[in-house]
Amino acid sequence: MLRASGIEHAYGGRPVLSIESLELPAGTITALVGPNGSGKSTLLRILAFLEQPRSGTVQLDGHSIRTTADRRRARRRVTLIEQYPLLFRGTVRHNLLYALSLHGIKGVEASRRTDAALERLHVGELRDRSGEDISDGERQRVAVARALALRPAVLLLDEPTGVADRAATAQLYRVLEEERSQQTAICFASHQLEDAYRWSSRLIALADGRASAVTPENLFRTVIPEGTGTRTARVGPLEVQVFTDKCGPATIAIPADELLVSLEPLHSSARNHFPGKVMRISEDGRGSVTLIVDVGVDLAVRITRASLEELGIKLGSEVVLSIKVMAVRVF
Amino acid sequence: MDFFIDGLRRGIELILGGDPEVYDITLLSLRVALISTILACGVGVPVGFLIGTTRFWGRRAAITALNTMLAFPTVVVGVLIWGLLARRGPFGGAELLYTWWAIVIAEVVLAAPIAAALTAAAVQGIDPRVRRTALTLGASPLRAHIAVARAARFALFTAVVVAFGRVLAEVGAAMIVGGNIRHYTRTLTTAVALATSQGDFALAMALGLILFAIALTVNVLLQLFQGRVNA
């Protein structure tokens, strides 16, 4: 569907993006993860044909998009929802009708699509409110509804749940999942790794404008209590035993390859045991499988396909994840 | 003080009494000001829009040139236009010198940079997401510009009003290229200058009051427009 290759971009001589190749196939959800300033938003604007890279090409359905007229046509099929989306003056409904009018859709069809899109995002009751008088979270959902009403072939979202609560986040991603099943190519940028793992079919980690070789799995911000040696760090509802000399704010990494998966608690040297439920299973095609297990937070675990089959793990299976204290990295 | 009050009283009598010369001058001034404002904004607003929204080679130089033109003395513009329209000048054949069209030309040269500079500043101040959002929703570049213009409408309207004010209040260039000919090229400002120099303080006050009333009316209309759009 959308393919970018050899993308190089710079602001005032400072390189900000260098992407060798990136593909957003139809019917997939790709997550872009990375810290602030890693180039996620710039990449999304380039993919949305709102910014032109210094070099490289972006193809839509196999056609290189080069000229102003090409970009104009492409933008009618690719829509970006910005991190802080803007609603135009007027009511929520007017915003959707305006977007549809840009595509030549008016009258009954426009009203029908507007109402359906607002209902889908559970913001139907806001239809007659001014875009300026609604909360940030509501504005974000209205912006998604406005984009979905256009039925784009490629939907790009920059931190779509930045201001949403957990329930609204899950609701939004479920809508994206439905959209994906309609063969829409979806790409969202998020700094919430749990969301990225849980809701995407593919994950691209960006660091300093480049696709990173290291996938930043199971990284959590925490506070290490005072003391030395083994301490207990809290990650949301999860208590993780760590061994470190550090104390105070820190980042911990629970390596996905070093987590053990079992159906019952293990009697072993591992002192961290996290019971949870398998929420997602994705295969990389080379015989390894990544599980997303909800243990209070979402943890990614990588095991072999053979182990998966031997344990009979399916979506919704209750499992226990175990890891040695020494294997939890603190930095 | 009596001198002032007496001048003001006689000025009001001239206006209310329907003095034909006062009305003649007012109508000519309004005609010149309206046509000049339309032409100046017709050129200045699109140029300002281009400078404010597009990155192109020489943009900084264009902004510097515009800002310089804002500070251009009106008599200098008057002299330049006089030179161009004089019989010996390149456009002498058009025989426009000492007609009200000559005043219009000079006022357009003076007001267009104001309209352009204020438009550029207005659209530069608009949230860049307005244009990006319109484009990503499928707007053509023209429709995206219209979205930006809608967002900047108050500032754009102010640009038009300021250009109108400049044209209405201008005296130097109008005097040079129009010649202040009675019933023909005498505008409110040139008439005020002449009446004052001739010691006809009452007429000068009457014309000054009309200028003030026009400025007040335009600004009240602007306020009403803003209030109506904000409601």
Per-residue model confidence as pLDDT tens digits over A16-38: 999 999 999 999 999 998 877 78
Helix axis angle for A166-181 and A136-149, nearest 10°, is 10
How would residue A212 be classed by pLDDT, with cut points 50, 70 and 90?
A: low
Residue B132 touches chain A, beta carbons under 8 Å: yes
Per cent of chain A over pLDDT 90 is: 66
CB A88 within 8 Å of CB A98: yes
How would residue A56 be classed by pLDDT, with cut points 50, 70 and 90?
A: very high
CB A157 within 8 Å of CB A31: no
More confidently predicted of A327 and A34: A327
Same domain, A316 and A172: no
pLDDT at B6: 81
CATH number of the domain where residue A283 is located: 2.40.50.100
Check pLDDT > 70 for residue A305: yes
pLDDT at B195: 92
Distance to chain B for A211, nearest Cα, Å: 25
* CA dist A68 → A44, A76, B46, B141 (Å): 18, 13, 20, 10
pLDDT digits (tens, 9 = 90+) for B42-80: 999 999 999 998 888 899 899 898 888 888 899 999 999
Mean pLDDT computed over A202-216: 74
Residues 6+ apart with CB under 8 A from A54: A8, A9, A10
Same domain, A181 and A278: no
CA distance A255 to A323: 9
Question: Which residue from B184, B191, B223 is spatially nearest to B209, judged by alpha carbons?
Answer: B191
Check pLDDT > 90 for residue A194: no
Interchain CB distance below 8 Å, A86 and B151: no
- Among residues A211, A243, A277, the one where a domain terminates is A211
Same domain, A107 and A17: yes
Question: Which residue from A311, A321, A1, A15 is spatially nearest to A154, judged by alpha carbons?
Answer: A1
Residue B151 touches chain A, beta carbons under 8 Å: yes
Interchain CB distance below 8 Å, A50 and B136: yes
pLDDT at A283: 79
Place of tokens 């696709």: A211
pLDDT at A100: 97
Same domain, A33 and A165: yes
- Among residues A160, A192, A211, the one where a domain terminates is A211
Residue type, B170: E
Same domain, A48 and A77: yes
In a mutagenesis test of the A interface, which of B54, B55, B136 is the best target, namely the one with the most A β-carbons within 10 Å?
B136
Query: Residue A105's closest chain B neighbor by CA?
Result: B138
Query: Residue A49's closest chain B neighbor by CA?
Result: B136
pLDDT at B9: 85
> Which positions in chain B touch A99 (Cβ < 8 Å)?
137-138
Same domain, A128 and A265: no
Check pLDDT > 70 for residue A275: yes
Per DSSP, the three-state class of A303 is: strand
Residues 6+ apart with CB under 8 A from A309: none
Same domain, A173 and A278: no
More confidently predicted of A190 and A148: A148
Place of tokens 């004052």: B196
pLDDT at A316: 93
Residue B133 touches chain A, beta carbons under 8 Å: yes
Question: For chain B, which residues make up each domain, given as ranges?
Answer: 2-230
pLDDT at A161: 84
Check pLDDT > 60 for residue A297: yes
Same domain, A9 and A117: yes
pLDDT at A134: 93
Same domain, A134 and A278: no
For A206, the enclosing helix (H) or strand (E) is strand A202-207
More confidently predicted of A195 and A232: A232
Interchain CB distance below 8 Å, B138 and A79: yes
More confidently predicted of A169 and A48: A48
Check pLDDT > 90 for residue A59: yes
Interchain CB distance below 8 Å, B130 and A86: yes
Distance to chain A for B77, nearest Cα, Å: 39
Question: Which residue from A177, A173, A171 is spatially nearest to A190, judged by alpha carbons?
Answer: A173
Residues of chain A with a CB closer than 8 angstroms to some CB in chain B: 45, 48, 50, 68, 72, 75-76, 78-80, 82, 84-86, 88-89, 98-99, 102-103, 146-147, 150
Phi then psi for A59, rounded to 5 degrees? -110, 140
Domain that holds residue A190: 2-211
Residues 6+ apart with CB under 8 A from A279: A198, A292, A293, A294, A298, A315
Q: Least CB-CB distance to A50: which of B127, B130, B135?
A: B135
The b/e string for A234-267 (b: 16+ C-beta within 10 A; e otherwise) is: ebeebebbbebeeeeebebbbebebbbbeeeeee
Residues 6+ apart with CB under 8 A from A42: A9, A16, A17, A51, A209
* Ranges in chain B, pLDDT < 50: none
Same domain, A60 and A194: yes
Interchain CB distance below 8 Å, B132 and A45: yes
CATH number of the domain where residue A151 is located: 3.40.50.300
Q: How far is CA A247 from the centre of its chain?
A: 31
Per cent of chain A over pLDDT 70 is: 96
Same domain, A49 and A108: yes
CATH class of B2-230: mainly alpha
Interchain CB distance below 8 Å, B136 and A150: no
> Which positions in chain A touch B151 (Cβ < 8 Å)?
89
CB count in 10 Å sphere of residue B225 = 14
Same domain, A162 and A76: yes
Interchain CB distance below 8 Å, B137 and A89: no
pLDDT at A252: 81
Per DSSP, the three-state class of B80 is: helix
Q: How far is CA B58 from the centre of its chain?
A: 27
Mean pLDDT computed over A86-111: 96
* Domain count across chain A: 2
Check pLDDT > 80 for residue A164: no
